[in-house]
Structure formats: structure tokens, C-alpha cells
Amino acid sequence: MSDDAVMPPEGISEDLARKAAQLASVQPPGSDDVDDFLERVEDITATITSLVEGKVKPEEVDDDIAREERRQRAKLRAMEEAARAAREADEKRRLYGREGKGEGDKYQWFCKRCFVEYEEDSLDGHEQCRRCGRQLMSRAARHAELHAKVEQLKEDKAQHLSRKDRWLRWKKSQELLGRGKSINYTKWDYWEPESDEDDQDTGPPIVPEDDPNFKALEKEMTASATKRSDRWKTAEQCRLRGNESLREKDYVRAVEHYQEGLDYRKDMLPLWTNKALAELKLFRWTDAQRSCTQVLDYVEVFEESYASRPDVCFKALTRRALALRGQKQYEAAQHDLEAAHKLFPKDKEAIKLLEDTKIAVQEVQQLRQSTKDHHEQQQADSPASRTTEAESPTSDRLEGDLAVVESSQVRPHECKASASDLQRASGLLAVSTKSLAELSSRACAELKGLLEGSADVRRWFCMAPNRPKAGITIAIEDVRACAQKIRLDPSLGKTLAAAPKDPLVKGSQRATELLDIVVTDNAWACNLALEAARPLLTLVAEGIARNRALMVLEEMSHFDLPRKSLADALLRDDHRVSMLVQLIASFQSPVDEEQDDLVKILLAAAHEVGLPDIPVPRLISDGRTDAEVACALLGNLALEPTVRRRLRECAVDIVSAALKYIRPNDPVACERGATLILNAAQDELISEEIARHSFAPILVTLKNEKNESAGEIRYLPRIQKLLGILVNGTTRSPAARHELVTMREAMDVLLIYAKSTDEVVCQRAMALLFRMVTDGVTVGEGAVAALVMAIDGALELHTGREEVPEVVGASVRLFCALVTKKGVRSTVAEFQRSPAMPRLPRVLLRIFQCFKKLTPTRDVPSEEASSPPSQLRGNICLLISRLAQAQEEALGVLKSGDALAERNGPTDVLRSLDLRPLVSPVIECLRREPPKSGPQQNAAVALTRLARVECYRDTVRALHGFEALHQIAAKALN
């Protein structure tokens, strides 16, 4: 035993000493705590004493020691678990941040979406939230944002107090006026005192608990709040009912619902704007103007500017402008539209309406100037000369200068009106202030001649300064009176149609004749005639002045705003659409040869005078039948989605009726039928019906035109629309593509039009040929030569521009499809076998010139991935990958020592191609195109193929192409 060993006390056995040593060796968990240590010492001493005295057996002590050890181990494990959990929580808080609003300073980065604060060292240089992946904002930016919100709240509070102060001062000023003076009660519509909230929170009122007076006040306040809430809910229900009536085109009931809602809440601004819209539909111009003015006055009184409520103010301004236009107050309408344009500068409808209004202002200014000139001329002329002019009002009509009117085309023999013309027209209308039926036949014919001969007279007829009614107003009232009579008693329709001398019928016939002259090619006059749309449809349905009424409606359908109003009027009566379809189906073509010869003569004459695009239907408009005009009218109206949805119900009838017009030798009727089919085909359901029945007659018509020589003038609008029908059908319907592929002569016919100098015709023919090639049509050697020649011609004609047109994209897409279908080597062999075909390097050079023009200089947004430039870049990259692959195979054949390689023409041609200048544009497309888009994938394939060719590998490496590929691949994996 060593010197340091402790001897057991005398009288204690070694076994007891060993047990005592074990108890002493058990260390308490808190050894630094003196009290706990002393307590443990006392326990050990008591145990030893019990062992010595024999009160406790050694086995019991062993059990106690074992229990104590287990307890200490369990406690130690709990402490370790707690420490580990704390470490994990700290690590999680470090990695994923801690909850907070970014108000303090104990963080570096803040996630605005998750409301989490990050320390600077927890992000490892990445400024993205680990919870949501959003970009983080710095502490300084968060503090700046919070300070900005505080300042905004202060500003809002100041504005609220300012508005309240203005309201209180206005009320005090009204009190100072005294009760005996008149008071402007209209201001009461703008403010309800009980809805004005004070600075306190909008919670339950805080009142003393035991005071019965305050209890009554609390009850009254609660009842007032409940009443206010109920009024708001009722007004909202009225608004929804009004919207439903508006969708059902029951405008009168819609106005009633909106007015009922306003009786509950006059400060609900959408009720005013919706009410104005319904009133515009009913042509209640003054009421609509008043409703919009209520909204704008409210905003001016209680808001800082129109910008504080842009949506509702924009609607109010544009709708008030429409109401002002209806009242011929064009300068005021222009002012409102300019204010609306400042709120939403990119709104297309507002921009178009502003342009039309500016044209109307110019028309009015020209009318004022011409009236002033004529007045000065009358003052300068002697009485004798004025008498001579009165006796011969048309003697000097052809001596004036040609009128240049911005809003309409110059008509043949149209001259500037003289003072006698306006004076004579005014004298004629002075006789018929109530109805045009009061005019004699001779006076009516003279008035028609004056209107046809001068734009100044037509302006005067629309505005009529210094007269109680304008001529166009009298004409509209005549049409409306006849239609109203028929609506009140439908049985009178047939009676009036059989009585042409009846004053109502006579006035309607003359009104439609004059309206047709005035609205022809004149958007301003068409807008003035909006109120006549529904009455004219009634006359068409009853057969009263049907041809002229249809012509007026067809002219109105050429312009956006009148077309929308006309479509609305058409759909308000369920049987109007079916009536037009039946009228269209009654078409019987005149002698085909005579009309076709007439059209060709007119086109040739137009070409000689330098007007190749002259509208032939207008030149022969006097000979149009009711069915033809109805077809043109419904074709224009089919541009409106609401009309197309209604046409679904009679899709079969529409297609069968329109196909009657698709005749080879009737270009005018064919153009009208094609317009109807093309516009109606924008609806998918109608498009399927068109694809099943119209392709064969359309191809027959196109085939009839294909034998014309290249120098002969062709009526291009008809050809464009017929090809457009085929393109739309094959785009939407697989059955249509199959039908086109199975037509034997389809490719021969389309190849003729693919060589056209007209861009639209060529582009659509190329698109159809692409469909045929990709859908499996057999392409023989002769067809390949013809296709390549057409492609080369299109590229030669259209690649010289600064911007690459769509026809180039269609040509490149067709060439890529041809190369993919036939193979590169087979295509090159076709080039070599056919002496008429252009050389391959020339075609490729033109394609690659377009590719260099289209090289992106900025990152292309994801929404532009399907744009024509991106699609064209993707197609050219696909072509480059095909060429590079074929070139790699050709070089491999030469290296293998194949004896046939030197005698193989395609191999030599492919080996001579130099694709090195295309490496840089391909890399730019790879970097700039949207990630994972088709153009970027094609660029990646093209660059990979180029890198595999040994002669291009160094160029790819020098331009960092491999790095670009790695970066794109890494992004794709992430």
C-alpha cells in the first residue's frame, strides 16, 4: 500500500470501508454548491454509521448506490439533450433567421414576405431567403421602407384632416348664407356626416358603465353603424343586380337598379359610372354626362386629384367624353379624353377614341372656317351676282379646288362647296324641319347631289350651325319614327313595306339614302349616326328601304366604336342574327363571266392611274344585292367576340350560307364570303365547322386563279382572306390538316402563291406548305426544286429590310422542315441534280444574314419566347445543328479514306461550308433567350454540334461557348 493510501478507521471491516469509498466517490451534479455538498456528506456519514451499527445491510447500500448512479446518468443525459436542442435551435435560427418585423438593429438582412431577420454571417454571401427563396432587403432598406410608411401615414392623416376641414368650412359658409337664400343641395350627394370617422379607432364606443344617458347614446351609435352597414350592403346588392341586367342588355332595368343603389349610398362611385354606361347604351347623353360629372366632382372635392382614384376617374372621363360626343361637343370631349390619357397612357381604346375625337374637332373647325368664308363671300358679292348664283346654284361647283378631308376619302368629282351650295342646301332643309317626307322628289334629288359633290355640304348636314336641327338628326328621327311604329304594333311591318307612299316609309327611304351618302368612309359621321343602328335593323327585318339601310349599317361596321354599338343593337333582339343569316343564304350570283370581266377592267384602270389597292366593292356598290351587303355587314360584326359567341348557335347555317359566295369568277362576292368565314373562324367551334366544309371550294377558287400570269393584276384581298381561312383552319383543327394533305393539287396551287410578290399572300402560302411538309405529304424531286425556288425568291425579295418580316420566318421554317424531312445530304443532292434550283450557299447566306440581324442584344423576357423573332432564331439554330451534324459526318467519311467520298458531290459541298461566322450569334442566343425555352434549347444543340466539328472547336472555345453551355446546364439542373 502506498503512502498516500487512506487507512480505514479502526473497528471497520474492509468490506464496509469499500462501500463507504464507493458512496464517497459519487460526485453530486452541483459540486460548486456548498449546501448541496454538505447535505451529501451528511447522508454518506449517516449511511456509514448505519453500516457500522448494523442497521443497514451492505446489499441495501449497493441498491442505493445503483439508484443514485442511474439518477445521475439520467440527469446528465437530460442536460446533454437540452444543450444539444439549444445548439440546434441556435443553428436553425442562424440559418433560417428569427421572427421579426425589422424594427431593431440586431440583424443585417430582412425577408419582407416571411418577416424573418438574418444575421450577416448566416447567409454565406447569398442574399436570398432560405424559407421562401425571395430576394432579401438590407437593414437600411427596411428602415427606409418603414420610415416611408410612417411618412405616408402622416400624409394620409394630413389629407384626411384637410378634407374634413374643407367640409366643415363649406358647411359653415353655407350657414352664413342664411336660411332665406337658396342653398346648393347637390353637395349633399357628396358627403354623409355619419360616415366621417374621427381619429379614434372604429371599434365599439367607450362610454361610462353606470350612466343611463351614455347607455342610450351608445345604443344610438350602434344602431347608426348597423344602419350604415345595411345601407352599404343594399347598395352593393343593387349594383350586382344592375350588372346582371347590363350583361343581359336590359339597359333600362340596369339604370333602375343603379339608381336604387344610389338612393342608399350616393358616395358609391361605381354605381355612378355603371349607370352612365347603361345610359350611354340608351343614348341618354345628358343623363350619362350628369352621372359622370357627379363622380368627377366628388373626387375634386374630397380627393387631391384624379390620380388618387385612377380607375373610377378614367371610366368617368371616357364615358363623359362619349356623352359629349353624342351631343356634338367635341372640344370638351377631347379635353376629357386627354385627362383620361394621362391616367392610363397605354389604353388602346382611349387612344383610338381620342384620335377620332381630334378628327371630329378638325371637321367642326373646317365647317366653321368654310361657313365664315362663305359668309364673307356673300358680303363681298353684289346683289346682282347673288341673284345669279341663286338662279344657278350649281354653275360654279366644278371650278373650286378638290377638298382634302382627313376623315374620309376624296370622292370622284368632289369639289369645294360654294356659298350658293350651302345656301341652297339650307333652303331645302328649311322646308323639312320635321321629316324628309315633306321634301319634293326634285328637292330630295338636288340635296343628294349637293351631298355627293362636296365634303363641306356633308359637314354642314351633320352639324347645321345656326339651325334648330341638323340634317342628320332629321334623318335619324325619320328612321326612328318608322321603327317605333313597328315596335308598338308589329303587324304594321308588312303593311308599311307594301305602302311606299306612306309618309313614314317615304321619310325612311329618303333618310337611308342621305345617311348612306354621309356616312360613307367617314368615321365622324358614323359616330353621329349611332342612334340609328337599332331602328335601321328594324327596317331591315321588315323589308323597308332594306338595301340602303343595310348599306348604312355596313358602312358603320367599318369603324370600332360604331361597330361595337351596332353589335350591341343586333344582340338585343334574338331574331336579328338569324334574320341576317337567312338573308345571306338567299344569295344568287349574277353572271360570273360579266362581273369577273368588270372587276378586272376596274383593277386594270386603277393600276394605270396608280391606285393598285382601290376598293373594288365600293366602285360597284350601287349594284350590290341585299344578301351581299348583309354578308359584308355580318362579316365585319364577327370581329366582335359577343357576336361570334352568338353565331355558335347557327354555325352550320353560317358556313353553308357563306360558301355560296366562294365562287371562282365572282371576286367581289368571294371577298365578302371570305371575310365572314375568316372573322367567324376566330371562334373554335365555328372554326371546326368551317374546316370540315370550306376547304374544297376554297382550293377550287384558288386553283382558278393560279393560271394567271405574273404580270396580271389580281384582287389580292380575296386571295389573302382565302389563304387566311386555310391557315386558321389547319392551325386549330388536325382534321383540317389531314384534309389539306389529302388534296392532290393543293401543293401545286400553293406553290404559285408562294412566289407572289405580296407579303401576306406569300407568308400564308409558306405557312400552309410547312403544314403539308410536316404532316407527311410526299415531296418528290420536282416539288423539292419548286419549294426551294419559292423560298429563295421570298428571301431575295424580303431580306433587304432593316426589320425581318414574318414571311422570312415562314420561309425559313419551311426550309428547315424540308431539310429535316429529306435529310441534309438528300437535299444537297437535289440542289446538284436540278440545274434550275439556286445554289445552296446562296440560300444559306440569305438565311444567315437574317440570323445576324436577329441576334439578341439584351435578355429576352420569358413572355417573348413565343414571339416571331425568337421562333425564327430557334428555327435557324435548328438548321445550323442539322448542317453541322451533316458536315461532321462528311468530314468523318473523308478521314476514313472511303474511295467513294471524293466522288460524292454532297460530301464536297458540305465540307466547303463555313459555319464559323455563326458561332457568335448562336452563343448570344444561348445566353439571351429565356431559360428552358425552345429557342435556347435549339441554340444549345447547335453550339454542341458546332463544337464537335474540329474546325469550329477553337472558335467556340475562344468565344467562351463551353462556359455558356456549362452555365445553362447548371441552371437547368437547379
Average pLDDT over residues 908-914: 76
> Does the pLDDT at position 198 exceed 60?
no
Q: What is the predicted pLDDT for the residue at 895?
A: 52
pLDDT value of residue 974: 55
Q: Decide which of 422 and 502 is more confident.
A: 502
| Segment among 230-234, 363-367, 640-644, 871-875 with least mean pLDDT | 363-367
Query: How far is residue 777's CA from residue 662's CA, in Å, rounded to a whole number?
Result: 26
The predicted pLDDT at position 212 comes to: 62
Whether the Cβ atoms of residue 138 and residue 118 lie closer than 8 Å to each other = no
- Using DSSP's 3-state secondary structure scheme, residue 128 falls into strand
Pairing of strands 109-111, 137-138: antiparallel
Distances (CA, A) of 596 to 135, 176, 699, 752: 68, 83, 18, 21
pLDDT at 273: 92
**Quick one: pLDDT at residue 374?**
62
Q: Give 323-334 pLDDT, tens digit per residue.
A: 998 888 888 999
Q: What average pLDDT is seen over the chain?
A: 76
Q: Are 110 and 137 in contact (CB under 8 A)?
A: yes
Q: How far apart are CA 917 and CA 847, in angstroms?
A: 13
Tens-digit pLDDT profile for residues 558-602: 888 889 888 888 888 878 888 898 888 888 765 444 455 555 566
pLDDT band at 608 (very low <50, low <70, confident <90, very high): low
> Does residue 479 carry a pLDDT above 50?
yes
- The C-alpha angle with vertex 762 and arms to 756 and 765, in degrees rounded to 5, equals 115
Residue 681 is placed in which grid cell?
Answer: 373562324
Residues 690, 697: Cα–Cα separation, whole Å:
11
Q: What is the mean pLDDT of residues 430-455?
A: 80
- The torsion angles phi and psi of 111, rounded to 5 degrees, stand at -100, 120
Mean pLDDT along residues 829-835: 67
Mean pLDDT to the nearest integer, 812-838: 74
Instruction: Give me the mean pLDDT over the 752-775 stretch.
Output: 84
Beta pairing class for 137-138 and 116-118 = unpaired
Which three cell numbers mark 903?
466522288
Amino acid at 575: H
In terms of average pLDDT, the best of 775-789, 858-872, 880-894 is 858-872
Beta bridge partners of 109: 118, 138
Residue 638, phi then psi, degrees to nearest 5:
-65, -10
pLDDT of residue 1: 43
Q: What is the pLDDT of residue 785?
A: 76
CB 322 within 8 A of CB 287: no
Mean pLDDT of 140-145: 86
**pLDDT tens track for 15-62:** 656 655 655 555 545 445 566 667 777 777 877 887 777 777 777 777
The pLDDT value given to residue 199: 40
- What torsion, rounded to 10 degrees, do the Cα atoms 923, 927, 930, 933 define? 40
- State whether the Cα torsion 164-166-171-172 is positive or negative: positive
| H-run or E-run covering 53 | helix 34-53
Query: Is pLDDT above 70 for 482?
Result: yes
- pLDDT for 174 equals 52
pLDDT for the residue numbered 187: 42
Please compute the mean of the pLDDT values over residues 628-650 and round it to a whole number: 89
| CA nearest neighbour of 116 among 94, 140, 98 | 98
Measured distance CA(628)–CA(625) in Å, rounded: 5
Distance in angstroms (rounded) separating the CA atoms of residues 518 and 512: 10
Confidence tier at 315 by pLDDT (50, 70, 90):
very high
CA distances from 97 to 112, 125, 276, 314, 822 (A): 12, 15, 54, 45, 60
Q: Supply the angle between the helices 950-958 and 961-973 in degrees, to the nearest 10.
A: 80
Query: pLDDT tens, 65-111?
Result: 888 788 888 888 888 888 888 888 877 777 778 888 888 888 888 88
DSSP 93: H
Task: Kindly tell me if the per-residue pLDDT of 408 is higher than 50.
Answer: no
The pLDDT of residue 868 is above 60: yes
C-alpha cell at 327: 351631343
What are the contacts of 765-768 at 24+ separation with CB within 8 A?
765/723, 766/790, 766/791, 766/794, 766/807, 766/810, 766/811, 766/813, 766/814, 767/727, 767/810, 767/813, 768/723, 768/726, 768/727, 768/730, 768/740
d(CA 306, CA 336): 12
Which span out of 83-92, 94-103, 150-159, 251-260 was modeled with the highest average pLDDT? 251-260
What is the structure's pLDDT at 111? 87
The reported pLDDT for the residue numbered 382 is 45
C-alpha cell at 675: 371575310
The Cβ of residue 814 has, within 10 Å, a number of other Cβ atoms equal to 27
The cell numbers describing 470, all together, are 341638323
d(CA 154, CA 173): 28
Angle at 493 between CA 490 and CA 497, to 5 degrees: 180
Are 726 and 754 spatial neighbours (Cβ–Cβ below 8 Å)? no
* CA dihedral sign of residues 710, 715, 719, 724: positive
Q: Which residue has the cell 349610398?
A: 265
pLDDT digits (tens, 9 = 90+) for 200-221: 444 455 445 555 666 666 677 7
The helix (H) or strand (E) run that includes residue 138 is strand 137-138
Choice between 893 and 361, residue whose per-residue pLDDT is larger: 361
Q: Residue 413 corresponds to which cell in the numbers above?
A: 368629282
pLDDT tens-digit map of 271-301: 999 999 999 888 888 999 999 998 888 888 7
Q: Are 116 and 100 in contact (CB under 8 A)?
A: yes
Query: Predicted confidence band at 316 (pLDDT cuts at 50, 70, 90)?
Result: very high
- Residue 393 is predicted with a pLDDT of 33
Q: Are 822 and 790 in contact (CB under 8 A)?
A: no
- What distance lies between CA 190 and its chain's CA centroid? 35
Q: Given pLDDT bands bounded at 50, 70 and 90, which one contains residue 798? A: low
Helix (H, G, I), strand (E, B) or coil at 841: helix
Q: Which of 72-76, 373-377, 394-398, 585-589 is the least confident region?
A: 394-398
- Say if residues 238 and 261 touch (Cβ distance below 8 Å): yes
If pLDDT is split at 50, 70 and 90, which confidence band does 440 have? confident
Question: Of the ranges 184-193, 514-523, 633-642, 956-965, which one carries the lowest mean pLDDT score?
Answer: 184-193
Sign of the C-alpha dihedral, residues 371, 375, 381, 384? positive
Question: For the chain, how big is the Rg over CA atoms in Å?
Answer: 44
Produce one character per residue of 46-80: b if its CB has 16 or more CB atoms within 10 Å, e if not.
Answer: ebbeebeeeebeeeebeeebeeeeeeeeeeeeeee
C-alpha 939/C-alpha 930 separation (Å) is 11
Is the pLDDT at 947 greater than 70? The verdict is yes
Higher pLDDT, 800 or 281: 281
Comparing C-alpha atoms, which of 786, 683, 789, 693 is closest to residue 736?
A: 693
For residue 885, is pLDDT > 50? Answer: yes
Percentage, residues of the chain above pLDDT 70: 75
The pLDDT value recorded for residue 816 is 85
870, 872, 878, 883: CA torsion to nearest 10: -140
d(CA 883, CA 289): 67
Query: Which of 249, 295, 300, 263 minimizes the C-alpha distance to 276?
Result: 295
Q: pLDDT band for 520, please (50, 70, 90 cuts).
A: confident
Q: Is the pLDDT of residue 379 over 70?
A: no
